Amino acid sequence: MVQEKKNVALWSVIAAIFITGFKLLIGLLTGSLGILSEALHSGLDMVAALITYFSVRVSDKPADREHNYGHGKVENLSALIETLLLLVTCIWIVYEAIHRLISGKTGIEVTLWSYLVVISSIVIDFTRSRALSRVAKKHNSQALEADALHFSTDIWSSAVVLFGLICYQFLNWHKADSIAAIFVAVIVLFISYRLGRKAIDVLLDKSPVYTTKIVHEILNEFPEVLKFHGLKARTAGADTFIKFNVHFNPDLSIREVHEVCDKIEKEIKKRVNRSEVYIHAEPQETSHLETEENDDIV
């Protein structure tokens, strides 16, 4: 599993290096802000891909004495850093585009290479995005998911730049390139918001509602569970940590309670990948009913 994540991340780094170099070269030769903005975007994607590569190498290390819950949040931190890099991209693109529109310096040289670099970028980005997305879903990796979004963003932004080049060359609309660059920034900003919000939620241990709903459904499937409360869940990278209290009939033996708890744990792990479950069993007594509220999330 770890090797598959490493391989897909490494190939993304190689692809990002190639795309960045190609765009930068053509952008400098033609003076196209759209292509140069794409080169910067891809350059930050390259940095993000490197961060992702190193994060997946660390995130799957087992828990140790200093990191009792493993190293999974390295992936979430990686995703947050990638978001900040994307925001830097937005600021630069918007500044340069507005400067060109105000100054009137919107002239560029459109060549066959201009189209070739953009179309090549779309093809490569599409391939990498699909590969990263597939592995991210398979292994519940937020770092790979963030990297996949980076490449998918490039697809849309490259398409906008391609549209700008066509308008510039065939419609003689000189502002098209700069306006296309601003559209790229808007796309990047939207993706940045999605990535950043998700990464921050995990880093702040926001409860994954979908997971708690699954646990709620599973507990209701066991008639031995008379009541449950204190349901809490959080994620760290690909791992999910779940804990809750359950009430049983006081007449059940310790062995019987243990067997039911084992079944509950196995069922949760079956439906929630890479989950660790902590169950605290209690007898259903009047004192509990009077002092505890069922605070699970429906």
Q: What per-residue confidence (pLDDT) applies to 288? A: 54
Confidence of residue 142 (pLDDT cuts 50, 70, 90): low
User: Does residue 175 have a pLDDT over 60?
Assistant: yes
Confidence of residue 109 (pLDDT cuts 50, 70, 90): low
User: Does residue 297 have a pLDDT over 90?
Assistant: no
Confidence of residue 296 (pLDDT cuts 50, 70, 90): very low
User: Does residue 243 have a pLDDT over 90?
Assistant: yes
Q: What per-residue confidence (pLDDT) applies to 266? A: 94
Confidence of residue 110 (pLDDT cuts 50, 70, 90): low
Q: What per-residue confidence (pLDDT) applies to 23? A: 80
Domains delineated in the chain: 2-203 (1.20.1510.10), 209-291 (3.30.70.1350)
Q: What per-residue confidence (pLDDT) applies to 246? A: 93
pTM surpassing 0.75? Answer: no
- Average pLDDT over the chain, rounded to whole? 79
- 3-state SS record for the chain: CHHHHHHHHHHHHHHHHHHHHHHHHHHHHHCCHHHHHHHHHHHHHHHHHHHHHHHHHHHCCCCCCCCCCCCCHHHHHHHHHHHHHHHHHHHHHHHHHHHHHHHCCCCCCCCHHHHHHHHHHHHHHHHHHHHHHHHHHHHCCHHHHHHHHHHHHHHHHHHHHHHHHHHHHHCCCCCHHHHHHHHHHHHHHHHHHHHHHHHHHHHCCCCCHHHHHHHHHHHHCCCCCCEEEEEEEEEECCEEEEEEEEEECCCCCHHHHHHHHHHHHHHHHHHCCCEEEEEEEEECCHHHHHHCCCCCCC
